[in-house]
Amino acid sequence: MDLITVGTLAIIGLVGGFMAGLLGLGGGIIIIPMLLYGAAIPLKLATGISMVQAFFATVSGVMIHRRNRTVNVRLGVTLGIAGVMGALVGSFASASMQPKLLLSVYFCLVALSILLMFFAPRQEKTGPVEVNLPLAFVMALAVGVLAGMLGVGGGFIMTPLMISVLRIPTRMAVGTSLLMIIPTTFSGGIGKIATGQFDFQIAIFVIVGSIIGAQFGGKVNAMVSPKVIRTTLLLLLIGILIRTAFDLFGS
């Protein structure tokens, strides 16, 4: 493997990890296209590498967010348990679904995430945060089903839900979202490795980059205003929506 390829893979990991630490995403929605088009990695390997790196990126991100005191452990564990339960149901349900239908579900979820960000409260709570755990559990269960159908972590929809519906402060929503994603990415990564959809020699550079990137993303998250974090997430979601629209309606 030449130095240019190694550098490309490391940069891809850095970018994905940075966005995970900054926005509370697993990074798959960024990593997979970059691996496909930037490093010419086959799709199956790209999804496997993305899932495994997402685990390391989220663990790294949670560590920096814990130091920043922007993780609600009780909420994150509740969301994680519900998300894994839902993902199991969703993964089985998706077996008989057509690819275009799955893409349509993804399109609708991204659109919903954008709407949630538009209607997010302008003033964030200060002081102790009270959370409606039963409501959070139900939301995470539903998100888990949909995420299991689509093969994604669900952070792109759960973070907006926490901000707009549960009224969780933006930084805490990001840190808690990362905690929620850890069990999903761990189980998904084990599955990808067990089924041969993984290449350690390629993945190691992406993983190292993502661990470092998540640390930087978490530090930037603590430095910038919640408005900057929300705006960045919103712009990213709009870009994903446009790209998905081309894939869905362009053919």
Q: Are 207 and 56 spatial neighbours (Cβ–Cβ below 8 Å)?
A: yes
pLDDT, tens digit (0-9, with 9 covering 90-100), for 141-155: 998 888 777 767 788
What pTM value is reported for the model?
0.88
> What is the spatial distance between Cα 75 and Cα 124, in angstroms, rounded to a whole number?
18
Q: How many helices (H) and strands (E) does the chain have?
A: 10, 0
Longest dimension (CA), the chain: 52
Dump pLDDT digits (tens) for 44-103: 788 888 888 989 999 999 999 999 999 999 999 999 999 888 887 887 777 677 878 888
Domain assignments of the chain as residue spans, ordered by start:
3-249
Distances (CA, A) of 248 to 107, 146, 176, 241: 8, 18, 31, 10
